[in-house]
Amino acid sequence: MTRSVKHSDGLTRCPWPGEDPLYVAYHDTEWGVPEYDDRALFEKLILDGFQAGLSWVTILRKRDNFRKAFDNFEPETIARYDANKIHALMNDAGIVRNRAKIEGTINSAKSYLEIMEKGPGFSKLLWDFVDGKPLVNNFKSTASVPAATPLSTAMSKELLSRGFKFVGPTIVYAFMQATGMVNDHLVSCFCHERCGAMKRTAAKAMRK
């Protein structure tokens, strides 16, 4: 199924969350809503990296476990993780136990801190790729939605050059969609127009 679906509550949504209450709530309240907070963006990028090879709902179900295991994704703390902490994470059944991704998260946290200390700031670095405001697409079916774009490729190269791990163009595009840098809700989905309204508020707040 690639087109929007009308749910029992009368609202028409993108087809991908199905009827899963957790996934539907995520679709309605988070996905595509512009996020400008530095730490929150870091968390989402790391979780998208862990998602690679899995479905997002799998990560969503484990998100609270991830937050607990990774100290609420505070980069200052993660950057100091040692071999004992890595061992503990590899034995934590509540998360995705992938050593390369765990070690990559530590490297990414160090890169994040450098961007925050030396500039331009993590949120600004990322949002500058879309001139500080979401790109609004008008797709009618999920078959039209790309897996990656020239912009996500450019952002991926920038992040890789700064030491981030697991930030390929496809992962980065999923991240851009989730954090509202692009609005890829289908035009028939009730969230498409609503995310546009949220965009104006968020962008205004960023300019202050």
Binding residues for Zn(2+): 14, 27, 185, 189
| Residue 112 vs residues 45, 59, 136, 192: alpha-carbon distances, Å | 11, 22, 27, 31
For the record, the structure tokens of 28 come out as: 């309605």
| Residue 80 vs residues 6, 46, 112, 149: alpha-carbon distances, Å | 47, 16, 13, 34
Q: Return the CA Rg of the chain.
A: 17
C-alpha triplet 54, 56, 59: angle, nearest 5° = 85
135-173 exposure pattern, b = at least 16 Cβ within 10 A, e = fewer: bbbebeeeeebeebbebbeebbebbeeebbbbbbbbbbb
Annotated binding site: 14, 27, 185, 189
For the record, the structure tokens of 89 come out as: 């994470």
Q: With helix as H, strand as E and coil as C, how does 85-127 read?
A: HHHHHHCCCCCCCCHHHHHHHHHHHHHHHHHHHHCCCHHHHHH
